[in-house]
Amino acid sequence: MRLYNGNYIISSGYGPRKLSNGDSSFHKGIDYVGVDSKNIITPTNGKIVTSQIITDRSNLTWEWGNYVKMDDLNGFFLFFCHLSRRTVNAGETVAKGQLIGIEGQTGYTTGSHLHFEVRRKSDNIAIDPDEYFKILAAWEQGQVDAAKKLVQEKTGFDNNTMEYLSKHPYPDALFLKLAKAMK
């Protein structure tokens, strides 16, 4: 799964950590740094719940600075934090691969990066984003394969046409939408 429109590195993983400034705590997400692009994209379809900047230090989320909270519509909330700029608004529906914001250095941070955090909607507990990507890949693969099969059966498209549709900029979203319309 991709979070950047380009290459990136991981600067801090999920789990216990000690920062260069001496702070130590459990890191509930993964920090990424864009190498050749700072454009952050959505790893899946969803709906934007919050798109805001918090500067009031009495609010615990001030540490995230400029951030976006997204509902993946599959039981998880995704948090994109420390953005220099947000490109989505609360209430918007977003497609996999859509630009959501630009990496930045807002909130409590020692440098420009993306803090990506995943929480279960059922209990608001953070999970390892790498585990989420495994869940997402399995879920999407099953859903997309079923959608492709339904589209081909209902339309009678040959394999060449299906191959052509697979070259759409957001092919998974396209097949899921087509299948939904055909049910």
CATH fourth-level superfamily of 8-127: Glucose Permease (Domain IIA) (2.70.70.10)
pLDDT for position 68: 98
- How far, CA to CA in Å, does 48 sit from each of 51, 87, 94, 123? 7, 11, 7, 19
CB within 8 Å of 12: residues ≥ 6 apart: 27, 30, 31, 113
CA 93/CA 48 separation, integer angstroms: 6
Which tokens hold the place of 55?
Answer: 């500067």
pLDDT for position 146: 87
pLDDT for position 169: 60
Quick: pLDDT tens for 113-156.
Answer: 999 999 999 899 999 999 899 888 877 778 888 889 999 999 99
CA 6/CA 2 separation, integer angstroms: 9
| Bridge partner list, 15 | 27
Domain ranges for the chain, please list them.
8-127, 133-182
Enter the pTM of the model.
0.77
For the chain (183 residues), the mean pLDDT of every run of 10, in chain order, is 92 86 86 96 95 89 94 93 97 95 93 95 92 84 85 94 82 81 84
CA atoms within 13 A on the CB side of 110: 9
